[in-house]
Structure 1
């Protein structure tokens, strides 16, 4: 499940991911992000990931083919996750974006919000 939240007056996008990520949900989130990028130009993303149980193979392909071009327009990304391997994997994201990326544990959500907004 993906929950997508924006404030019309802010370039910050908050995305919450729980459970298994589907292709349909990912495509919808990417399209919303494209719209926000058109509205605000470069943007910042806070992604909270909890109880992640996988990604549909088709969604993985969608992320590589559509998501990477969108990720290149992000200036700063905070990833808040309950799994250490997800936070560690953020080092790989640097190959797909020039954004400043920082990983946080779930109990650091407010610190991540402050960092992404700074």
Structure 2
């Protein structure tokens, strides 16, 4: 499940992600992405990861389609979590995108928020 966090920075999408990510979750984020792009900004992301159980199949497919369509529209990405695989996922995202991607441990989430500029 993806919960959209309220923030004041108009080009950042901040989320708290728990359990499984579904197609419905991706459909919540996609219009937010378009709103930022239409204003002429790159889209920055703050992903707070807690007890994630991956994607369901439809969610994975929807996320891949959105990412393929918008990779050049993404700016900074902050991944905040507490699992080793999450750190590797952030590194893979950094490798496969033109985005600036950083991983932060959960106890350093305020540092991540400062980096992505959502305080």
Structure 2 counterpart SS, 1:102: strand
Question: Given the superposition, is the C-alpha separation of residues 22 and 68 from structure 1 closer, same or farther in structure 2, using an over 3 Å criterion?
Answer: same
Q: What is residue 57 of structure 2 aligned with on the other side?
A: 57
Distance 1:74 1:6 in 2: 19
- Normalised to the residue count of structure 2, the TM-score between the two structures is 0.85
Q: What is residue 70 of structure 1 aligned with on the other side?
A: 70
> Does residue 28 of structure 2 align to residue 28 of structure 1?
yes
> Which consecutive segments of 4 or more residues in structure 1 shift more than 4 A?
6-9
Distance 2:29 2:66 in 1: 11
Show the 5 A alignment for 1:1-118.
Answer: 1-5=1-5, 7=7, 10-117=10-117
Distance 1:52 1:90 in 2: 14
Q: Could you tell me how far 1:102 is from its partner in structure 2?
A: 0.3
Structure 1 regions of 5+ residues with no counterpart?
Answer: none
State the number of aligned residues. Answer: 118
Aligned partners of 1:71 and 1:96 also within 8 Å: no
Distance 1:109 1:63 in 2: 24
1:62-84 CA-to-partner distances (Å, cap 9, x unmatched) read 11112232343121111001211
